[in-house]
């Protein structure tokens, strides 16, 4: 029965039962963490062979003869550019290999635009106003970067097909102060949506008022499928931009952070040759080259994209049961009550939950008081300002599955309790 159809007396009786169940959870003295999308120990274990791919007796020369122990190769070793290029579906000539973090590359990309501009245009720091479009709900660390630089963020609603492209096209074409948009186009954070073919093509055909507008295309989950037989497909954005006569429109980011070891992987940027030339002018003043030994280690471990694909199947086998466990519990506990909706992604790292308006912060707070830490409510919105106070990001990957099931049961209970209280306010 829908909670909204219950009488006040029925709601009060339901609250009494729920409160008793909540007290039982509190008595367990739980300490469970569902706050970040981190790989679990078992996922990290499958990459331990990375540590054996090089040793003190190994030949540390890459295929062009460069000694990876020494200086050189500003944009990465050739074989790493091939490997990451295959992963990102881009030509090695359009790739720069960086250090361990794609987030770091995104930060540097915004910082460079702020201080020196993009391809000869006015540095953003000299402009009266700089704005970014932010699909919501979205990735909190993206929003943290633009907020840190004082860039005004404009929320753009997301659907199963991607951002509201009518809104994106209108704003971008009319406002020269809009300089970029954040995108997680495949298995998006937090909803797990993948942009439709039409959405990608509309991005490629944008006509920005600002000549230095760029799409920040964070393809963080490009090969992070949960299923072999149910996988989302994404049109390659750089090729579409080239077809549309907009070759310089996109910066495309990726890394191996959730493929091998977060913090010890390799990151990459793919973009047009014009953008690469512009970026390298700054990069040569920042570094002589990134960690080529680590790049070589990854290449020797995976060998090629087929090795990486097989490796990702091992990841999927570990985390797929966790996603399915969360979905099963939410279906069992909340379906039919009309107090929440949640996504069922085919890949990525998150499930997005939308509670009744005005309930998200109280749900997260109640779960925390009973020993389950979740991502802060409203973190998925710029400035942590969810106008509906409804969105909650669920991160199933890190906890052991038994802990995850317990945490999800408590979460569902908190959703019920807070929803009953909200309905009683109106009764």
Question: If you search the block for the tokens 């966790």, which residue do you land on?
Answer: 322
Give the CA radius of gyration of the chain: 23
Q: What is the mean pLDDT of residues 158-163?
A: 98
| pLDDT of 329 strictly over 90 | yes
Nearest to 172 by CA among 142, 200, 206: 206
pLDDT score at 72: 93
| CA dist list (Å): 58 to 54, 67, 71, 212 | 6, 12, 18, 45
User: Residue 137: is the preceding peptide bond cis (ω within 30°)?
Assistant: yes
| pLDDT of 424 strictly over 90 | yes
Rounded mean pLDDT of the chain?
97
pLDDT score at 226: 98
Note whether 254 and 84 are within 8 A (CB): yes
| pLDDT of 392 strictly over 90 | yes
Note whether 395 and 29 are within 8 A (CB): no
Facing residues of 131 across strands? 152, 178
| Per-residue pLDDT reduced to its tens digit, 12-68 | 999 999 999 999 999 999 999 888 899 999 999 999 999 999 999 999 999 999 999
Q: How far, in Å, CA of 62 to CA of 137, rounded?
A: 42
| Per-residue pLDDT reduced to its tens digit, 213-235 | 999 999 999 999 999 999 999 99
Residue 426 pLDDT grade (very low, low, confident, very high; cuts 50, 70, 90):
confident
| pLDDT of 427 strictly over 90 | no
pLDDT score at 389: 98
> Can you name the CATH fold of 3-44+309-426?
3.90.1150
Residue 327 pLDDT grade (very low, low, confident, very high; cuts 50, 70, 90):
very high
pLDDT score at 140: 96
Phi-psi category of residue 335: left, alpha or beta, with phi > 0 → left and psi -120 to 50 → alpha: beta
Phi-psi category of residue 385: left, alpha or beta, with phi > 0 → left and psi -120 to 50 → alpha: beta
Q: Where are the domains of the chain?
A: 3-44+309-426, 61-303
pLDDT score at 36: 86
Q: Is the pTM of this model over 0.85?
A: yes
Q: How far, in Å, CA of 425 to CA of 58, rounded?
A: 69
pLDDT score at 3: 97
Facing residues of 342 across strands? 353
Q: How far, in Å, CA of 158 to CA of 234, rounded?
A: 16
> What is the per-residue burial (b if ≥16 Cβ within 10 Å, else e) of 231-240?
ebebbbbbeb
CA dihedral (356, 358, 362, 364) in degrees, to 10, reads 60
SS3 state at 402: helix
At the second CATH level, the architecture of 61-303 is 3-Layer(aba) Sandwich (3.40)
Q: How far, in Å, CA of 361 to CA of 400, rounded?
A: 25
Question: If you search the block for the tokens 């399915």, which residue do you land on?
Answer: 324
DSSP state of 186: S
DSSP state of 67: B
| Per-residue pLDDT reduced to its tens digit, 343-391 | 999 999 999 999 999 999 999 999 999 999 999 999 999 999 999 999 9
Write the secondary structure of 280-300 as one string of H (helix), E (strand) and C (coil): HHHHHHHCCCCCHHHHHHHHH
| Per-residue pLDDT reduced to its tens digit, 231-290 | 999 999 999 999 999 999 999 999 999 999 999 999 999 999 999 999 999 999 999 999
133's CB contacts (< 8 A; 6+ apart) are 153, 154, 156, 163, 168, 171, 172, 178, 180, 181, 182
* Reduced DSSP (H G I as helix, E B as strand, rest coil) percent helix, strand, coil of the chain, to 5: 45, 15, 40
Note whether 193 and 162 are within 8 A (CB): yes
| Per-residue pLDDT reduced to its tens digit, 73-85 | 999 999 999 999 9
Nearest to 102 by CA among 278, 258, 238, 224: 258
| Per-residue pLDDT reduced to its tens digit, 178-197 | 999 999 999 999 999 999 99
């Amino acid at each position: 029965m829908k909670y909204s159809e219950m009488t006040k007396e029925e709601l009060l009786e339901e609250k009494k039962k729920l409160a008793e169940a909540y007290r039982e959870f509190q008595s367990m003295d739980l300490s469970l963490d569902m706050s970040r999308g981190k790989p679990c120990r078992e996922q990290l274990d499958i990459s331990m062979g990375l540590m054996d791919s090089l040793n003190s007796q190994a030949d540390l020369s890459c295929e062009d003869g460069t000694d990876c122990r020494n200086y050189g190769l500003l944009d990465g070793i050739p074989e790493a550019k091939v490997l990451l290029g295959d992963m990102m579906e881009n030509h090695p000539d359009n790739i720069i290999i960086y250090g361990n973090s794609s987030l770091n590359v995104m930060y540097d990309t915004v910082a460079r635009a702020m201080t020196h501009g993009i391809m000869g245009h006015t540095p953003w720091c000299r402009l009266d106003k700089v704005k970014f479009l932010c699909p919501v709900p979205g990735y909190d660390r993206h929003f943290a970067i633009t907020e840190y630089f004082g860039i005004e963020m404009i929320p753009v609603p997301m659907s199963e097909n991607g951002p509201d492209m009518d809104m994106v096209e209108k704003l971008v074409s009319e406002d020269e102060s809009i300089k970029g948009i954040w995108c997680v186009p495949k298995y998006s954070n937090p909803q797990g949506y993948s942009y439709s073919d039409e959405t990608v093509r509309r991005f490629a055909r944008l006509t920005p008022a600002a000549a230095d507008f760029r799409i920040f295309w964070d393809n963080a989950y490009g090969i992070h499928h949960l299923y072999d037989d149910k996988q989302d497909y994404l049109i390659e954005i750089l090729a579409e931009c080239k077809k549309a006569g907009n070759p310089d429109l996109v910066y495309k980011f990726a890394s191996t952070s959730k493929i091998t070891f977060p913090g010890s992987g390799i990151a990459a940027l793919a973009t047009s040759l014009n953008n690469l030339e512009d970026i390298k002018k700054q990069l040569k003043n920042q570094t002589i080259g990134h960690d080529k030994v680590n790049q070589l280690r990854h290449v020797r471990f995976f060998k090629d994209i087929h090795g990486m694909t097989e490796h990702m199947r091992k990841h999927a086998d570990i985390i797929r049961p966790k996603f399915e466990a969360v979905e099963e519990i939410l279906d069992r506990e909340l379906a039919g009550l009309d107090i929440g909706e949640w996504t069922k992604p085919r890949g990525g790292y998150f499930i997005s939950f939308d509670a009744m308006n005005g309930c998200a912060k109280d749900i997260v707070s109640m779960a925390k008081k009973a020993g389950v830490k979740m991502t802060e409510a409203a973190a998925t919105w710029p400035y942590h300002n969810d106008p509906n106070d409804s969105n909650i990001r669920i991160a199933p990957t890190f906890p052991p599955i038994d802990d995850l099931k317990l945490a999800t049961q408590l979460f569902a209970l908190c959703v019920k309790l807070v929803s009953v209280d909200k309905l009683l306010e109106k009764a």
